[in-house]
């Protein structure tokens, strides 16, 4: 259904403006979005079949995750915190799931 609506929207835009630019833009964005997935698939396969090639990363994992988390934190704005503060029940459920429910589930799975 979503695909049908997307095609309908694109056809509507093409019929309205009759330009080749939209198709070029669509193709370039699809190609750009596909590249990380292709590269990620290649890296994942190599990690699975040749794990010794990637053992050099082990000492740096903490730093790399810290850099990624810092970068994600830089994208936050004060309005993001206002949204979170306006839903305290959802935050408490998430914290309980992260620190109580998930560890208990793991303990249950290991003990069975």
DSSP 25: H
Give CA angle at 46 (43, 48), nearest 5°: 110
* Averaged pLDDT, 18-22: 61
DSSP 8-class letter at 86: T
Cα Rg, the chain, nearest whole Å? 22
Helix (H, G, I), strand (E, B) or coil at 50: coil
For Cα atoms 65, 70, 71, give the angle at the middle one, nearest 5 degrees. 100
pLDDT at 47: 77
| pLDDT of residue 97 exceeding 70 | yes
Question: What predicted TM-score, i.e. pTM, was given to this entire model?
Answer: 0.46
pLDDT for residue 7: 66
Q: Kindly give the interhelix angle for 2-17 and 21-49, rounded to the nearest 10 degrees.
A: 150
């Amino acid at each position: 259904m979503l695909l049908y609506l997307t095609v309908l929207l694109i056809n509507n835009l093409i019929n309205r403006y009759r330009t080749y630019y939209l198709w070029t833009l669509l193709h370039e964005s699809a190609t750009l979005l596909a590249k990380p997935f292709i590269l990620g698939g290649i890296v994942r396969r190599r990690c699975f079949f040749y794990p010794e090639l990637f053992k050099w990363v082990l000492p740096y994992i903490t730093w790399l995750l810290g850099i990624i988390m810092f970068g994600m934190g830089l994208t936050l704005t004060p309005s993001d915190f206002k949204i979170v503060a306006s839903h305290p029940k959802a935050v408490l459920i998430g914290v309980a799931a992260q620190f109580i429910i998930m560890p208990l589930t793991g303990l249950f799975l290991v003990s069975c």
